[in-house]
Amino acid sequence: MKEIEVWLQTFAPGSRTPIHRHSCEEVFIVMKGSGTLFLAPSSHGKIPGEPHEYPIFQNSTFHIPVNDCHQIWNTNEIEDLQVLVVISRPPVKVFLYQDWSMPHTAAKMKYPYYWDEECFHSPRLKDEL
Ligand SMILES: *[C@@H]1O[C@H](CO)[C@@H](O)[C@H](O)[C@H]1NC(C)=O
């Protein structure tokens, strides 16, 4: 699709996205489970800085401002966290951070970025492409 990209993503207990940012809008709807959103509000300094922690629950909807560094973490030890994700203007350039004090200039750019990279590179999927 040209204007938006939509996918369903499941995080096993304890799993998480990298700390990252992108210059697109992003909306999450929590379908199942719970977890924590780490968000460094307006990451305009040299580094993302200490993130705010927001608990997320089933049926919650939240929005990530453009270019704010964030991380979704399934902090629930038992249940999967399943989210429906919508982004604008795909494909996006994603900037990855090792930690919250990594300078923006050191963030690693990935483009194109596959949200399901591991599945995407499995031999079976490749055959179908
Ligand atoms: C989420 O919404 C569904 C459907 O309305 C409802 O059955 C469920 O109890 C809600 N869950 C929570 C945690 O509010």
We report the CATH number of the domain holding residue 21 as 2.60.120.10
Cβ 32 under 6 angstroms from ligand 1: no
Q: Are 11 and 74 in contact (CB under 8 A)?
A: yes
Instruction: Report the distance separating Cα 50 and Cα 69, nearest Å.
Output: 10
In a domain, 33, yes or no: yes
In a domain, 119, yes or no: no
Residues of the chain below pLDDT 70: 43, 116-129
pLDDT of the residue at 115: 72
The model's pTM: 0.87
C-alpha 95, offset from chain centre: 11
Most informative mutation of 59, 79, 83 for ligand 1 (most atoms within 8 A of CB): 59
pLDDT of the residue at 74: 96
Residues of the domain holding 65: 4-110
In a domain, 115, yes or no: no
Closest residue by Cα to atom 1, ligand 1, is 59
pLDDT of the residue at 126: 46
In a domain, 35, yes or no: yes
pLDDT of the residue at 61: 97
Does 70 show up as a binding residue in the annotation?
yes
Domain count for the chain, please give it.
1
In a domain, 116, yes or no: no
Most informative mutation of 29, 57, 58 for ligand 1 (most atoms within 8 A of CB): 58
In a domain, 26, yes or no: yes
SS3 at position 122? coil
Question: Residue 86: which of 38, 37, 25 has the closest Cα?
Answer: 25
In a domain, 82, yes or no: yes
pLDDT of the residue at 43: 64
CA of 58 to the centre of ligand 1 (A): 7
In a domain, 68, yes or no: yes
Instruction: Report the distance separating Cα 100 and Cα 86, nearest Å.
Output: 24
